[in-house]
Structure 1
Amino acid sequence: MSTETRSRGVSLGVVEVDPVRTVALGGIALLISAYGSVFYHFVDVTGEPILYLLVAAVALAAATSLSNSIRFRWAAVVAVGLLATGLTLYVLSLPRQPPLVPLVTDAIALMTGRSLLQVTNVDLWVLGVSPGPLFLTWYLAMRRRYVAGVLAGGGTLGFLVLTTDASTVTTLLGVVGAIVAVAVGDMDRRGDSLKAAEPLAVLLAVLIVLSAVAPIVPGGPSRTADTWSRFQTGGAAGGGTVEANLLEADNQLGIAGNLSLSPDVRFRVESDAESYWQVGTYDRYTGDGWVRTGSTDSYRGNLDGPPGRSQTVSQTYTAVDEMDVVPAAWKPVSVGGSVADDVTVNDLDGLELDGSVSKGDRFSVTSQVPVASAEELRAAGTDYPSSVEERYTRLPSSTSDRVAERTARITARANTTYDTARVVERWLKNNKGYSLDVRRPRKNVADEFLFEMDAGYCTYFATTMVVMLRTQDIPARLAVGYTPGERVAEDEWVVRGYNAHSWVEVYFPEVGWVRFDPTPAGPRRSAEQQELTRARENNRTDVDLNDTGGGEWTATPTATPAPLTPRAEQPVQEAPGPMTIPDRITRPGGTPAPNVTLSSPSVTATSTNGSGGAGGGGDESTGPFGGRPPTREEATLGAIVLLGLVVGLRRSGLTGRAYRAVWVRYQPTKDPETDAERAFERLEYVLAERHRPRRPEETPRQYLKAIGADERATQVAYVRERARYAGEVTREEADEAVALVDDIVGWRGA
């Protein structure tokens, strides 16, 4: 049937399905779904995806309805107009209208690897940008201009590959759709039948299988991909280290699975007080990882301190190994020394390093550490700045309601933000074990850790606490860096790779960001000590310095000096000063709050990639999908591979031979007449292969006599004649015929 005939059939109102065109449009639909799924992920992370789905549906419906009424040039004008209008509205929505140069530099950054998830208002960007490509891609497909449609859709997907937001699987799905649209679309124009596309199905199956083995198709890294580097050294065999995962994540932190610990010494720090040496924070939770949004500015010599009272903490860092981060007690206000000219400041007031610190280099950081007592934090209230509340309470719309419900039950007796944070912190410490042997969740990490896992390491604890607090509209974020390390003098610490850690920061009005750490400290330190002991037993030379290995430094007992501030006003942070927060939240009258389990859970402090660890641990590589169900994209590609395999086998004749091999050896019973006829058909097939086929002019009896068949074959033919011509065959006779043929087949096989 020609293209014109098919078109007339549709225009005359005749209900007719053109399989060739349907498959070609299906290829375009796969391409659209590939980049559309990335857009959907953006708006799911940052807001409600319903509006995006509505916008996409309207764009596709408009393309369908206008495909028969406007020419291509006007459709291009509509698409460009939609894109320009959307981008203009996006720019106008920004709090500060950037000049042209920042917009150009941001565009260049996006096309050279910066994720769109780092864009603060990415949901508005999607709503502004997506209608144009969706409209044009589908309009061209409906006009049977498949190549042009692939160029429009492929350009959109290619942009998302450059921003690293389209994973390899998503990209492969789009590439497969594009190939189908172009190849089958050409058949549609020529009027070929769908049978001509069978070789294409085989080629696509080969492409997909090869892409699973080697990166044939380009694509951004998986959103949950782990980051490995030189920090892999020193840990247990197998996966990467906690340090590599946390400290080399840059602006995107993927939640990993099995990890190990590295005991290598990284740096020394001389400080006025013990602290967590923060390296970075993350504000946007994606469900399977974290993203730091916003851009960076040059360091101009000083930064603002926290909004409330603070104490100055001076630190001097000496790199024992090469470093590409600037650790600092929160909140840093100035930097000096070798890194001062290479430091930038991100939107979250964190320090970033443009370059690296060489071994032996020294630099200084001055921080203003927030000082607030527990009572001050309880009285801080919830009058958050709108920018803080909007940014740090967002959660993906796909986050399960059960997380909020569980959190509300746990914190039912907590009346303040501070009490809520403390209850959640202690509940996680007391109800989840510590283990490095975990299987990375497929979906929402916090949801699965809270409900499906028994144990995890710091990233799981901190991520879950942030999400739980955000469900209660409490601004919280994830922080990464190093714990204090081994104290070797009154004001000096040695920090190793295994001190890499993640924790939680909660915002309090008029105070700023305050640290909470839900990871059980005892099991974590035990795992670190095990790794260090193992390294020393193996005579590792990179895990100790001249003044380490002799035990932690302790102060010489002296009379206790008077504190700098009254005890009730001692800082809630661990630096400077001791923690003065209570062990538990209590009801009036002194009884513990409900749902806060104070008994210690079982702990698996494992630092190797074993099998069967807590929380469903084990090797993530088990099975084709790492022991998890396939995603929709993977299932679609799997179906295409299966189709190509079936087509290839059929074209090679293997499926026919396989079917006949089963058919001739197995006969299900039905009624006697049917069974007798089927038994004779099987007999003919066997005799045709052993001797020769029956000629058209030969009767069954003549054929059997001519080839010298034995009495078993003659009896089968007799039963078949009675069934066909006399209509008189018993169940026993039919069963006998089937058994005789089974015997002949078995004899033939022998």
Structure 2
Amino acid sequence: MSVATAGVGDRVDRRLSAWLPGDRQPGPTLLRTVALACALGVIGSYVSVLREITRVVGGTDQLLAIVVTAVGIGLLVAPFVSERVVIPLSALAWVGALLLYFSVAGIDLPTLVAQLDSVLSDVLTLARGLNLIRVVEARTMALAYAPVPAFLTWYLALRGRYAAAVVPAGLALCFLVLTGDASMGPTLAGAVAATGTVAFGELARRNAGFEALDVLTIVLVTMILCALFVPFVPGGGESPLVEGSGPGTLEGSIAGTPDRSLISGSVELSPEVRFTIDSEEPAYWRTGIYDRYTGDEWITTGGSTAYDGPLSTPPGRTDRLTQTVTVESPVQVMPAAASARSIDGEMTTFTEVDEHGQIYPSVPLTEGDQYTVESAVIDLDPSRLHSAGSEYPESIAARYLQQSDGQSDAFAARTDAIVEGADSPYETALRIESHLRDSKSYSLDVDRPDGDTASAFLLEMDEGYCVYFATTMVMMLREEGIPARYATGYTEGEQIDGDTWVVRGTDAHAWPEVYFPGVGWVPFEPTPADERDDVHQDRLESARENDNPDVDTDESEPEGPDPSNETQPGENESTTDPTDESPSTGTGNETVGETGGANGGDSSGESGFDVPTPSPEQLAMALLLVLGLAAAGYRSGLSRVVVGTIRLYWQRRSGEPARDAERAYRRLEILLGRRYRPRRPAESPRAYLDALSSEVTLDERVYDVALTRERATYGSGVTPADAEAAIDAVDALVGRYGPTGGRHE
């Protein structure tokens, strides 16, 4: 292949290709440099997904260092070591990385061999959509996963194996797509970069020029636009766990999917009845436990297993509490007081237990389904909590002290100031709980902050609802080295009989749980209760006034006069336990009033035309669309037609008569070319007009314009008046004989 001798791209490529054996040099061209850049883009696409994981679980700096090192090693060995040596060594390195992960996860080699079928099943589960971020040792997996594909892709690209080069990093990205960790952006970027690697590499190998770039541009843009309408992986989003709790509702956030709890902005709640629970004591009816915080959502790590008998109980003193739960509307959660020990009834066969001890149904529950749970409720003795100490089991500390990279130094400093002087983890938790209750107001009308939610709520926001209070308290406790986790479910609801509780959508709630050695997980309540209770009762009474048939059971319907005519504020309110000393009491009754509408005086009802601001993604898609259309136009010749049409109908005066006369004649040639035939390359303007006049009768103004052009080019020149006359003549000819003219002879 020939070697280019000029240009920055050529010099860069010569330096790269000079390292390679002569039989592997693919040609020092700018196109090769672009192909190598695209190979780095493929690597960057999957590394960016792993970086999002390490941003949550830690290890971002190590990840980037490992990838850079792998790419550097590829650069060093590419000129000297053949594929027959490198590829087997890379496979061994990949196996070693997997063994490292299993070792950190506590699985030694004999156990791994004995449970190989289980390991393969877990890998298949990941490929079916279990996010890597839900893996307990996600940090180790990300670090072990990254280097080998990066090394191989860069090594093979440097050696001119472009098609083979995209395979390692491409497969790494595809697996992350299957797990659900890779979003549209990285996936699309990786696909485009892979196509660019192969396409530009082949152009460089064939020593081609840039004449084929318009075709490549059309292909790439078509790929991108098709990806907007054709999903890469079949499937869709998971249904909410509670029917009627879609986006914009608190239930939709805390019970959107079994593995995630979103942190939303403003939310609504439905007052519809979800459960009727028979229990001797009220409790928080827990439905989910989340341990991994990303900055804008909570995630449950680990998998689940089928319930096969009594579960473990907290290590401290507990009381037995039996609850019988009757489902009143379709759900896919199993509320129960913490901590569930045993389940009875037909649902036993369909119950699963996650690694945190939380029970879930494996099938949706429908109205009328019923199950009985026996729970071991912790005896909340303040003296025992105060003396519990801070000797946490390694398994607890490793899992429930995770922090995201988004938390600021200011967050840590403010937390330290709030808990200064606390002499025990229990005292620390009480101070944080009290601070949040006293310093923040309760409101459902909030904007979700950018960046880390806990930092924003503690340092910047003045109000929020239970999700914000619980999230912030958990992360403040973790900042102080105290294991904590985020729990969701329902408060006790409305007591309608001595031992019967009606639980509605307005009772959906989130709260923190704190671990105390020798005691177990203890719930706390940082959310202020007074305003919350008022909003709940107002929403319930409003729904009753509107004759909503789903807000009451036969037993919970109020007796006596219509609630709207009552004058005594406490006459027909919920008969929940008025004591609010225990974290297991109170109501988490979040709502923003009528569903789908704004309350009176809400500023969201402003009128007027508001032009939406396009997002960066929309601008990028628009730019790509324009680029693709431009390339398609160039390839099809449409661009030449458009440019010619513009030149035909419009001429800007330059102030130079000779130049204006020449431009007027070029416009005339465009008109004649479209009406009859274009001038041939070897044909002079005079010969062209003579040939046309022998076939058709030309307008006399055609000869006048041609004569003016000859005088301007070869004669004594033309005056401004002559040039203006030529322009006017062409304007008249275009108006009469052009595409929009009135005469077509």
Same fold (TM over 0.5): yes
Judge conservation of contact 1:168–1:219 (CA < 8 Å) in 2: no
Please list the CA deviations of residues 392-431 of structure 1 after superposition, one character each: whole Å capped at 9, or x if unmatched: 221122434343344445556766412442244325632x
Alpha carbons of 1:404 and 1:637: their partners in 2 closer, same or farther (altered >3 Å)? Answer: farther
Change (3 A) 1:573 1:523: closer
Matches within 5 A, 1:171-570: 171-212=187-228, 214-218=229-233, 227-229=238-240, 231-233=242-244, 239=247, 241-256=249-264, 259-372=267-380, 377=385, 380-408=388-416, 416-426=427-437, 429-430=440-441, 433-435=443-445, 438=447, 443-448=451-456, 456-522=464-530, 524-525=532-533, 528-529=536-537, 532-533=540-541, 535-536=543-544, 539-550=547-558, 551-552=572-573, 554=575
AA in 2 matched with 1:39 = L
Does residue 630 (structure 1) correspond to residue 616 (structure 2)? The answer is: yes
1:41 counterpart = 2:41: no
5+ residue gaps, structure 2, are 20-24, 559-571, 691-697, 736-740
Match of 2:184 among 168, 176, 187: 168
Kept after mapping to 2: 8 A contact 1:32/1:134:
yes
Change (3 A) 1:390 1:239: closer
Aligned to 1:60: 71
In the aligned structure 1, how far is the partner of 2:87 from the partner of 2:600? 56
What is aligned with 1:588?
Answer: none
Write the deviation string for residues 212-253 of structure 1: whole angstroms up to 9, x where unpaired.
Answer: 2x23422887xxx7x5448343x7xx8464324422411233
> Which segment is superposed worse, 197-206 or 73-82?
197-206
> Are the aligned partners of 1:298 and 1:343 in contact in 2 as well (CA < 8 Å)?
yes
Equivalences for 1:8-87 in 2 at 5 Å?
A: 11=17, 18-87=29-98
When residues 24 and 103 of structure 1 are mapped into structure 2, their CA distance, relative to the original with a 3 A threshold, is same
Out of 102, 124, 143, the position equivalent to 1:108 is 124
Q: C-alpha distance in 1, partners of 2:411/2:711?
A: 71
Alignment RMSD (CA, Å): 4.8
CA contact (8 A) 2:494 2:575 kept: no
The answer on whether the counterparts of 2:440 and 2:463 sit within 8 Å (CA) in structure 1 is no
Cα deviation, residue 268, structure 1? 1.0
Amino acid in the other structure paired with 1:605? V
Counterpart position of 2:592: 605
Q: How far is 1:442 from its partner?
A: 6.0
Classify 1:203/1:709 alpha carbon distance in 2 versus 1 (closer, same or farther; 3 Å).
same
- Choose between structure 1 and 2 for higher RCO, CA contacts under 8 A separated by at least 6 residues: 1
What is the letter of the counterpart of residue 62 of structure 1? I
Deviations, residues 687-708 of structure 1 (Å, cap 9, x unaligned): 4455689985669xx9xxx976
Give the TM-score taking structure 2 as reference length.
0.77
Q: Is this contact kept in 2: 1:480–1:502, CA < 8 A?
A: yes
The answer for unaligned runs of 5 or more in structure 1 is 558-566, 580-602
Whole-angstrom distance in 2 between the partners of 1:241 and 1:161: 28
Contact 1:649 1:655 in 2 (8 A): yes
Query: Equivalents in 2 of 1:327, 1:466: separation in Å?
Result: 22
Quote the Cα distance in structure 1 between the aligned partners of 2:724 and 2:440: 70
Show CA shifts across 1:25-59 (max 9, x none): 33333322221112112222111311111111111
Q: Does 2:151 align with 1:135? A: yes
Per the alignment, residue 738 of structure 2 pairs with none
Secondary structure at the residue paired with 1:279?
Answer: strand
Verify the 8 A CA contact 2:242 2:332 in the aligned structure 1: no
Q: Which residue number corresponds to residue 158 of structure 1?
A: 174
Secondary structure (helix, strand or coil) at the match of 1:275 reads: coil
Shift of 1:328: 1.5
SS at match of 2:242: helix
The whole-number CA distance in structure 1 between the counterparts of 2:137 and 2:290 is 16
1:186 maps to amino acid:
E
| Structure 1 stretch displaced more, 489-498 or 251-260 | 251-260
CA offsets per residue over residues 244-279 of structure 1, 9 Å max, x none?
A: 442241123344456542333222111222111001
Q: Residues 73 and 664 from structure 1, CA distance in 2 versus in 1: closer, same or farther, beyond 3 angstroms?
A: same
How far residue 475 of structure 1 moved from its aligned partner, in angstroms, is 2.4
> 644, 648, 653: which one pairs with 2:632?
648
Q: Which of 100, 104, 111 matches 1:93? A: 104
Closer, same or farther in 2 for the Cα pair 1:410/1:21, shift >3 Å? same
Partner deviation per Cα, 1:1-37 (whole Å, 9 max, x = no partner) = 65999987865599x9623223333333332222111
Distance in 1, matches of 2:495 and 2:626, equals: 60
Identity across the alignment (%): 33
State the AA in 2 paired with 1:124: T
CA distance in 1, matches of 2:582, 2:384: 10
Moved more, 43-52 or 548-557: 548-557
Task: Tell whether the 8 Å contact from 1:265 to 1:321 is kept in structure 2 after alignment.
Answer: yes
Question: How big is the shift at 1:481?
Answer: 0.8
Residue 173 of structure 1 aligns to a residue whose secondary structure is helix
Using the alignment, how far apart are the partners of 1:60 and 1:117 within structure 2? Answer: 25
Instruction: State the match for 1:586 in structure 2.
Output: none
* Structure 1 length-normalised TM: 0.77
Tell me by how many angstroms 1:494 deviates. 0.9
SS at structure 2 position matched to 1:231 = coil
